[in-house]
Structure 1
Amino acid sequence: MRAGAALLAVLLLACTGPAVAQSLDLTQGGPIEITASDGIEWRQQEQVVLARGEARAVREGVTVDADRLIARYRPRAGAAAPAQPGASPVAGSEIWRLEAEGNVRITSATERATGQRAVYDMDQAVMVLSGAGLALDMPDQRITARESLEYWPQRRMAVARGGAVVTTADGRRIVADTLVAHFAEAPPEGSQPAARPAPQRPAGIAGLPGADEGSRIERVEAFGNVEIRTAEEVVRGERGAYSPQTGMARLVGEVRITRGDNQLNGREAIVNLRTGVARLVSAPGERVQGLVVPQQDQPAQAEVPVAGRPEGADRQPRQPRPPQPGAGR
């Protein structure tokens, strides 16, 4: 069954809890509305709704825009089949998977995600973006990747794979093969968050409104070819963790601190991204090694501060993977 241009379809999802407008969570809220300029097609045998041409899906403040949208639905538990002639073929159904293809943009009041393809699994509450232009923008941070970008709103987590970068509002950059960003928990409803000074945002994350705590990164875990740049040094290691609140980062595993032609090697480094100071420590029983070129500044101090270490650098990344689509879909 094919509908005309810009036809509006209302489809119910499985979860109907209260919406959280600041996150890109499509599993929360009421019905989802789908529009398209080239029409909407129902494939009842396949239980698929296909929207083409400037396709848009909207649910409780979250909007998905793409060249094409594919909504896969199934009968909702306990719902009776439509009995009246002319009733919607999706009445009493729920969407369990939403796919977006071509120039994908998912937006809410304070977050924006982009890519060429997105798959949103409602059962697992995960959105996976792939293709060119992968980015997740928040008011104070930006996450980019080359391979894939996973967004887990109910776990308050995002996973960027392949050339992953986290950029903060003041231009700090954390680069790694895989980055796991953990978001702060939103404050209780009705509470007033602490006032924060407005940061000077780089062009990459400009234009988004101010965020509540639920749209801020609380901790970043980095794995594989980790690199942190300050105004003075480049610090590289195998694994690391970073706290945007304190500006402190910890790197472990074959750490190298480079300043100009100077280089120090050790097992662990503590980097203060706010002051640009990097400190290096060797493994037990070993010494810090390095190359110091005359007439240049000393590269770093071989000591570790008493406090300020972010946790999580020694842990392996959680590897949440989206479920594979069902056979024949």
Structure 2
Amino acid sequence: MKTGPKNLRLTAVLLTAALLFAGNALVPTGGALGQTMNFGADTGKPVEIFAENGIEWQQEKLIFLARGNAKAVKGDVTVKADELRAYYREHASGGSDIWRLDAIGKVKISTPGQTAFGEKGIYDVDNAILVLSGGRQVRLKTATDEITANHQLEFWEKKQMAVARGNAQVVREDKNLRADVLAAYFRTDKNGKSKVHRVEAFDNVKIVTKEDTVLADRGVYNVESGIATLTGSVRIDRAGTKLAGCSARVNLNTGISKLQSCGPGAGGKGRVQGLIQPRNVKKK
């Protein structure tokens, strides 16, 4: 069964149950966002589906296909792609619900506060997990931040967590945090807005600011305090000065870094701390 772009009432009813994805995901730093990316929640708002080449209903396979500049809109959340696929299941007691949504080709997912890009998006409705992948990079942009990854971005709505894999990178102003894997955790502030409060970095961690380059095996960044705690083969390079140790605390707001050597339990000769103060040099 195939319908044109104007005959979408039945499709919209079936898609209302679940059609998008995770809450405020992968905001690398503390910018507030007033809108959540969440088609899965039961907000009572209808879903509108648009497609230049019409919508196909494959009843035997329990799939709806929207092709040709396909677009799904629910409230302030919009998904655009070359093709949208909605997989649904029927219940013995009657009725049906959508358990998976695929967006394929030139995927763009946007709210008033953020926009995500990729070549393929798969939303697991039951577990409220979106995986965005494909192309040279997948990325998410906000008014203040941008996160990119070579492999994929994952949005875990129930855990309020986002994960970027494969040369993952977060950029805000003059600060750059990268690693093989980045995980961002969210919580709701007193105004009801979701904000990142913690970012974890795993393997080949690198922080670059105007003054420092810091390398480590693992890092944890507290967004509110601006402090990054780094462990495992830590190296700090500032204006040609190179320091090495087993752990460090780097304040990205003040530019102050504290480095610790390996303790006796790690084969070192005791605890040693170094304090590096930023220098203000005026160029003529």
User: 1:268·1:281 contact (CA, 8 Å) conserved in 2?
Assistant: yes
| Counterpart-to-counterpart distance in 1, 2:4 and 2:207 | 52
- Deviation, 1:142, is 2.3
Q: Residues 220 and 148 from structure 1, CA distance in 2 versus in 1: closer, same or farther, beyond 3 angstroms?
A: same
Q: Can you give the 5+ residue segments of structure 2 that lack an aligned partner in the other structure? A: 24-33, 277-284
The answer as to 2:87 corresponding to 1:67 is: no
2:144 is aligned to 140
SS in structure 2 at match of 1:45: coil
CA contact under 8 A between 2:256 and 2:275: conserved in structure 1?
no
Q: Which has the higher contact order (CA 8 A, sep 6+)?
A: 2
Aligned pair in 2 of structure 1 residues 117, 15: CA closer, same or farther (>3 Å)? closer
Alignment of 1:173-252 (within 5 A): 173-187=176-190, 193=191, 213-214=193-194, 216-252=195-231
Residues 1-329 of structure 1 mapped to structure 2, 5 A cutoff: 1-8=1-8, 9-10=11-12, 11-14=14-17, 22-28=35-41, 29-30=43-44, 31-76=46-91, 78-79=93-94, 92-132=95-135, 133-168=137-172, 170-187=173-190, 193=191, 213-214=193-194, 216-285=195-264, 286=268, 302-303=274-275
- Tell me how far 1:186 sits from its aligned partner: 4.5
TM-score (norm 1): 0.71
Q: Within 2, Cα distance between the matches of 1:167 and 1:77?
A: 50
- 1:6 to partner: Cα distance: 4.8
- Structure 1 gap segments, 5+ residues each: 80-91, 188-192, 194-211, 289-300, 305-329
Aligned equivalents of 2:186 and 2:254: distance in 1? 24
**For each residue in 1:285-322, what CA deviation from the matched residue of structure 2 results, as whole angstroms up to 9, or x when unmatched?**
3259xxxxxxxxxxxx7159xxxxxxxxxxxxxxxxxx
Give the counterpart letter for 2:2 in structure 1: R
Deviation at residue 51 of structure 1 after TM alignment: 0.6
Corresponding letter in the other structure for 1:129: L
Give the alignment's Cα RMSD to 1 decimal.
Answer: 2.5
What is the identity, as a one-letter code, of the residue corresponding to 1:67? D
CA distance in 1, matches of 2:125, 2:91: 13
| Structure (1 or 2) with the greater strand fraction | 2
Number of aligned residue pairs:
254
- Cα-to-partner distance string for 1:242-277 (whole Å, 9 max, x where unaligned): 112111101000101112432111000111111222
Query: Structure 2: which amino acid aligns with 1:98?
Result: L
- Could you report, residue by residue, the CA deviation over 1:163-206 in whole angstroms, capped at 9, with x for unpaired residues? 101122x332110000000112243xxxxx4xxxxxxxxxxxxx
The one-letter amino acid paired with 1:165 is Q
How far apart, in 1, do the equivalents of 2:115 and 2:174 lie?
A: 19
C-alpha separation in 2, matches of 1:280 and 1:287: 15
Q: What are the Cα deviations for residues 28-59 of structure 1, in whole angstroms up to 9, with x where unaligned?
A: 12343221011100000000000100101122
Q: Structure 1 counterpart of 2:210, which letter?
A: A
% identical equivalent positions: 43
